[in-house]
């Protein structure tokens, strides 16, 4: 990695919703410090954050019809968790309880799905789960501080039960009918493995589990075989490498962000290659610029490609700092 430092002053001069993560993640301020307290107050009172929280009050909201629908409440929930909101913060407790109240008997967390008949579904809105949505809910609630909740532990146990020797497949609940993604049934689904690893990495009791290790190895193997394999049409080429926020899809930054959370995998040369690719995207001041955007998030500072994004910069540096902690860079 080039000898750069995070642009601390530039980051702190950003919007109020950003400062909490800068203060805690990059500056390492303890939760009880006055600086952290002020940053949390700024986060919770920010109008853009309040708008997202208010929108989630209608959970579960509209049916999920495609998993990269950037405007869907699922992705807004994950983003709020990554900003630093907790399950006990104003407006969130009701949302969290609604999610947990809709947990499947087998343990999976569910969303409302609508799968057209031509893809094996009923064409109706139904509660269900897929491995390309349920682990995102598990990750969000764990990140919001519920990692020890037995309902989340049940969700993690169910997630682990679906693992195969080559990683997580495309798996769905009975409510999804005959749906299966566009790939060979024996292949692992790259996106499902990304979401599963990220979710288990957020649960201390699961971070070092055989399931998490298998999923991480699957992601690393897919990177090494990226020129030969495109399981379920997920490639790891030029589009994969583009920086984009929020971290919704199967791209470079979401993959390395998830893997960097696993202390036992730091130092793996395959991860090092991806981290080097990420690091090379920083400008001379250590800032990162979006190379693609979600139009649903165009009102946020990372929803443009004209200049550096503080949120992308913070996310990239958080990833690089976690990885560098083991000295492999």
With cut-offs at 50, 70 and 90, classify the pLDDT of residue 61: very high
In sign, the C-alpha dihedral spanning 33, 83, 21, 322 is: positive
Domain containing residue 242: CATH number: 1.50.10
Whether residue 40 is found in the same domain as residue 51: no
Please, which residues have CB within 8 angstroms of residue 155's CB and are 6 or more apart in sequence?
Answer: 103, 107, 108, 109, 134, 137, 138
Q: What is the percent of the chain with per-residue pLDDT over 90, rounded to a whole number?
A: 91
- Co-location of 124 and 249 in the same domain: yes
Whether residues 32 and 179 fall in one domain: no
Does residue 15 sit in the same domain as residue 123?
no
The model's pLDDT over 309-318, given as tens digits with 9 standing for 90+, comes to 999 999 999 9
Does 323 map to a domain?
no
Same domain (yes/no): 138, 274: yes
Rounded CA-CA distance 111/59 in Å is 9
Whether the upstream peptide bond of residue 246 has omega within 30° of 0, thus cis, is: yes
Examine the domain organization and report whether 175 and 255 are in the same domain: yes
What is the share, in percent, of the chain residues with pLDDT greater than 70? 98
d(CA 310, CA 12): 9
Average pLDDT of span 199-218 = 97
Name the residue range of residue 12's domain: 8-45
Q: Express each pLDDT in 237-278 by its tens digit.
A: 999 999 999 999 999 999 999 999 999 998 899 999 999 999
| Same domain flag for 222 and 251 | yes
Asked if residue 314 is part of any domain, the answer here is no
Task: Report the chain's mean pLDDT, rounded to a whole number.
Answer: 95
Is residue 10 scored above 60 in pLDDT? yes
| pLDDT attached to residue 250 | 98
Rounded mean pLDDT, 104-133 = 94
Mean pLDDT of 215-222: 98
Q: How far is CA 286 from CA 209, 247, 252, 257, 266, in A?
A: 35, 20, 18, 17, 22
The token pair that represents 148 in the structure block: 């020890």
* 297-309 mean pLDDT: 97
Q: What's the pLDDT at 328? A: 43
Q: Which tens digit of pLDDT belongs to each residue from 28-40?
A: 999 999 999 999 9
On whether residue 130 sits in a domain, the answer given is yes
Q: Nearest 5 degrees, angle CA 69-CA 72-CA 76?
A: 115
pLDDT for residue 2: 54
Residue reference for tokens 């690091």: 279
CA-closest candidate to residue 273, choices 240, 315, 309? 240
pLDDT at 329 over 70: no
* Domain match, 221 and 284 both: yes
Per the domain annotation, does 286 fall within a domain? yes
Counted domains in the chain: 2
Residues near 127 by beta carbon (within 8 Å), at least 6 away in sequence: 60, 102, 104, 110, 111, 112, 113, 175
Instruction: Assess contact for 56 and 73: CB atoms under 8 A.
Output: yes
Calpha distance 273→266 (Å, rounded): 12
Helices first, then strands: H and E counts in the chain: 14, 2
**Cα–Cα distance measured from residue 108 to residue 167, given in angstroms and rounded to the nearest whole number:** 18
Q: Are residues 31 and 57 in the same domain?
A: no
Pick from 172-181, 204-213, 310-319: least confident: 172-181
């Amino acid at each position: 990695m080039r000898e750069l430092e995070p642009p601390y002053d530039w980051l702190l001069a950003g919007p109020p919703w950003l400062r909490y993560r800068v203060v805690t993640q990059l500056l390492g301020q303890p939760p009880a410090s006055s600086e952290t307290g002020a940053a949390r107050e700024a986060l919770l009172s920010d109008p853009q954050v309040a708008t997202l929280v208010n929108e989630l009050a209608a959970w579960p909201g509209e049916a999920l019809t495609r998993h990269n629908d950037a405007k869907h409440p699922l992705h807004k929930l994950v983003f709020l968790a990554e900003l630093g909101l907790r399950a006990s913060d104003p407006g969130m407790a009701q949302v969290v309880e609604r999610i947990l109240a809709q947990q499947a008997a087998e343990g999976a967390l569910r969303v409302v799905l609508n799968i057209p008949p031509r893809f094996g579904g009923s064409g109706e809105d139904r509660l269900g789960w897929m491995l390309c949505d349920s682990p995102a809910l598990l990750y969000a609630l764990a990140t919001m501080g519920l990692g020890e909740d037995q309902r989340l532990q049940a969700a993690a146990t169910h997630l682990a039960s679906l693992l195969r020797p080559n990683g997580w497949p495309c798996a769905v609940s009975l409510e999804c009918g005959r749906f299966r993604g566009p790939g060979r049934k024996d292949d692992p689904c790259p996106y499902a493995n990304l979401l599963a690893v990220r979710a288990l990495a957020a649960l201390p009791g699961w971070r070092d589990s055989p399931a998490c290790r298998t999923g991480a190895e699957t992601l690393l193997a897919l990177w090494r075989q990226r020129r030969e394999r495109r399981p379920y049409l997920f490639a790891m080429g030029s589009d994969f490498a583009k920086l984009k926020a929020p971290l919704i899809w199967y791209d470079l930054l979401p993959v390395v962000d998830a893997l960097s959370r696993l202390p036992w995998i730091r130092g793996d040369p395959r991860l090092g290659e991806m981290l080097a690719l990420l690091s090379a995207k920083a400008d001379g001041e250590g800032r990162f610029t979006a190379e693609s955007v979600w139009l649903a998030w165009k009102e946020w500072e990372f929803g443009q490609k004209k200049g550096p994004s503080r949120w992308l910069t913070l996310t990239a540096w958080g990833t690089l700092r976690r990885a560098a902690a083991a000295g492999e860079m």
